[in-house]
Structure 1
Amino acid sequence: MTSVFDWLDTRADERRRAGLARRLHPRRVDSDLLDLAGNDYLGLSRDKRVTGASAAATLRWGAGSTGSRLVTGTTEAHIELEHELAKFCGAQAALVFSSGFTANLGAVTALSGKGSAIVTDAYLHASLIDGCRLSGADVAVMKHGDVAAVTHALKTRRTERALMVTDSVFSVDGDLAPLRELHEACRANGAALVVDDAHGLGVLGEGGRGAVAEAGLIGEPDVVTTVTLSKALGAQGGAVLGPRRVIKHLVDSARSFIFDTGLAPSSTTAALAALNVLKEEPALPEKVREVALTFSSRLREAGLRVTDPAAAVVSVLAPTPEQAVQWADDCRASGVWVGCFRPPSVPDGVSRLRLTARADLSDSDIERAIEVIVKHAPSAPPRT
């Protein structure tokens, strides 16, 4: 009997032949691997102030939130986190979601819809792409970083309402969107700007307030920011920040908020504790940026082709997908865990190692990482 899922085996074989089959690598609690693959930019996921707050919240509230935010899933910690995030980032209000992915889905779909237009950057994160696909809006994808193309698309649209949607720091190369220019284009053409600041919060801006703050767009009435709590804050979850009426609209309209179980109190409290650590130690963002610049300059000096990091993400380009995978495997076998990005996950089709800087890396950690990456580089890597 032919199975209705036989086609899955065919697709799996195609991915294996193309070197695109993915594998899960369980992270051991006692691992001695140097982690340059995760997004714990400030090293707060294991900070005792953060883990202690998380454990206490679990004992107080239980393991989960027990329901959607509109039923039983909202605790005092959720309200406090939203207040503190909004205050820290300079927004009127904030709304906490169960993840950065659901925050992006909620913001894009609830603020657009049929009869509206969305203009995006070509290197948009998958969560924003999915939000655009689900929105029912007319979507136009512009060349990466092309403000003139965005301006033209907004100016010539046929709809009254429009959004321009972009990452702040792009997750593959770590480059920064021209936020000021994009905002000018939006304001001149009656559009709102939605910025995913997942990789900016805790890394860029005064005290880590993010790329939107660094661009001078804090509190602008036509700017909405989404963030994740799982990167610089070392916890879990996501949030949308912006004008109070936008947040109210999301509570009433964002399906990924209304119909999703609320973020667990332990993660909510952990994120709040991490935010307090960031306030107490405002030098942490500068430290992580210094580490990223060190990785970039030292690896470039070794002859590798490396991106210029705007925040914590550093990409090291590889000649082929197969060599990128082997390079990452060799680094891992030598004790350094790096990310490996290759088609179709990378929009430009170029395979690379993806390194994430951390504020808690020691000088010896940095030297060890550079030594291992250079040692296992492909024999003929792309040159600068």
Structure 2
Amino acid sequence: MAHWNRLTQELDQWRREGRYRPLTVWNSGSGTWMELNGRQVLQMSSNNYLGLTDHPALKAAALEAIETYGVGSGSVRTITGTLDLHDQLEQELAQFKQTEAVLTFQSGFTTNQGVLGSILSENDVVISDALNHASIIDGIRLTKAQRKIYAHKDMDQLEDVLKQCSSFEQRIIVTDGVFSMDGDIAPLPQIVELAEQYDALVYVDDAHASGVLGKHGKGSTDHFSLHGRVHIQVGTLSKAIGVVGGYVATSQVLKDYLIHKARPFLFSTSAPPSIAAACLAAIRVLKQSSVLQDRLWQNTTAFRQSLIHLGFNTGASETPIIPIMIGEPAITMRFSDRLLDEGLFAQGIVYPTVAQDQGRVRLIVTAKHTDADLAFALDVIARVGREFGLI
């Protein structure tokens, strides 16, 4: 149809540039080895950091909640959609995060949209790291606040921006805790010190730090012992937690305000009871033991060191997110495809998700990968890497 000519042309251009990707349809649940087109493939692109998606405690909690409450909550939170499970989850999450309060949302994306879209006015300025997640960028776009960007983790530039912004009613510094494409950690202590010096609020998106950094996976604020000095902590329940959803850990005042103002919260049906129950079970699993987190970091450190020893460029990675930096988009996607041919799924990431010359295959290590799994992955990556002249 003529109506879609422009869209068709864009799709064709993406195909020519090697950026077009159809959806990959899997035939099994999230895990280390997954079924794809009738064969088993080692999965190294999942955010299931701790392997909680099929944890017995989470599955049992979800099933019990379905039997007790049914499959849906039936309403938005402000009408009849706040069940005791939702309330209990928020209370226990707040205790876990060591904040006054927590408010849950349908996803990490809508959390950023809901919080940023609610607290920023035309009299405020939001100061954002250049590599922050798309949900932060979109959340900021929903506001009339002034926007300032500082170069990635550049504290000198951040201070310069803060000096220029003294006239604004409110200054909010927004950063990812762990950056999702590079796997590096935000310099949170320095950010907090600058915020205190220049009277700014600190907002941290811990999507990839929740369950990964800090004692029992409490996140980047705990990792740096900054409790009470970070004003807003956003996290997901969809990655290391193993289920789905998002939350903001903050003051009771801000929670009460968001209940009345955050549009994704106000106008979306609340999480099904099974989801709330599984998330609650996941938090309790984290509090009980650090075994899974310890295994995650053992796997991560050993795997990254092996890649570097082979000669691969792993960029700025400090966490279980480990990119193999390649550059040109088409080559990046061909490299990813060849890995899949050899039984390893590792997603290629190219422009516009990253800069045009910053294409990479992003590997994610989990606690559930065995030594044998990681040895298999290293063998495949080394063989294909030699084919492509990467090592």
TM more than 0.5:
yes
Q: Does 1:184 align with 2:193?
A: yes
Could you tell me which amino acid in structure 2 is paired with residue 361 of structure 1? H
Q: What residue number does 1:24 align with?
A: 23
- 1:225 Cα shift? 0.3
Separation in 2 of the partners of 1:62 and 1:147? Answer: 50
User: Given the alignment, which residue of 283, 289, 311 partners 1:281?
Assistant: 289
1:132-172 Cα deviation digits (max 9, x unpaired): 11111111111000111112212211411111111000001
Alignment of 1:167-316 (within 5 A): 167-220=176-229, 223-316=231-324
- 1:28 Cα shift? 1.1
- 1:340 Cα shift? 1.3
Cα distance change of structure 1 residues 343 and 254 upon mapping to structure 2, 3 Å threshold: same
Over the matched positions of the two proteins, sequence identity in percent amounts to 32
Separation in 1 of the partners of 2:381 and 2:98? Answer: 40
Separation in 2 of the partners of 1:289 and 1:49? Answer: 23
Cα distance change of structure 1 residues 27 and 167 upon mapping to structure 2, 3 Å threshold: same
Separation in 2 of the partners of 1:334 and 1:163? Answer: 47
- TM-score, normalised to structure 1's length? 0.95
Indicate if the aligned counterparts of 1:58 and 1:266 stay in contact, CA closer than 8 A.
Answer: yes
Task: Give secondary structure in 2 for the equivalent of 1:331.
Answer: helix
Indicate if the aligned counterparts of 1:323 and 1:378 stay in contact, CA closer than 8 A.
Answer: no
Q: Which deviates more, 172-181 or 103-112? A: 103-112
1:217-273 Cα deviation digits (max 9, x unpaired): 2233x5200000011110000000011111111111111111112122211111111
Could you tell me which amino acid in structure 1 is paired with residue 172 of structure 2? L
1:89-114 Cα deviation digits (max 9, x unpaired): 11110001000101111111112122
Task: Give secondary structure in 2 for the equivalent of 1:5.
Answer: helix
Alignment of 1:1-384 (within 5 A): 3-29=2-28, 31=35, 32-157=40-165, 158-220=167-229, 223-347=231-355, 349-377=357-385, 379-382=387-390
How many residues are paired up? 381
1:187-240 Cα deviation digits (max 9, x unpaired): 1112111100011111111121111111222233x5200000011110000000
- 1:4 Cα shift? 2.9
Indicate if the aligned counterparts of 2:328 and 2:356 stay in contact, CA closer than 8 A.
Answer: no
Could you tell me which amino acid in structure 1 is paired with residue 78 of structure 2? L
Could you tell me which amino acid in structure 2 is paired with residue 22 of structure 1? R
Q: Which deviates more, 307-316 or 131-140? A: 307-316
Q: Which stretches in structure 1 are left out of the alignment for 5+ residues?
A: none
RMSD value, Cα: 1.6
Indicate if the aligned counterparts of 1:292 and 1:309 stay in contact, CA closer than 8 A.
Answer: no
Separation in 2 of the partners of 1:16 and 1:264? Answer: 38
Runs of 4+ in 1 over 3 A off after TM superposition: 378-383
Q: Which deviates more, 374-383 or 263-272? A: 374-383
- 1:311 Cα shift? 2.4
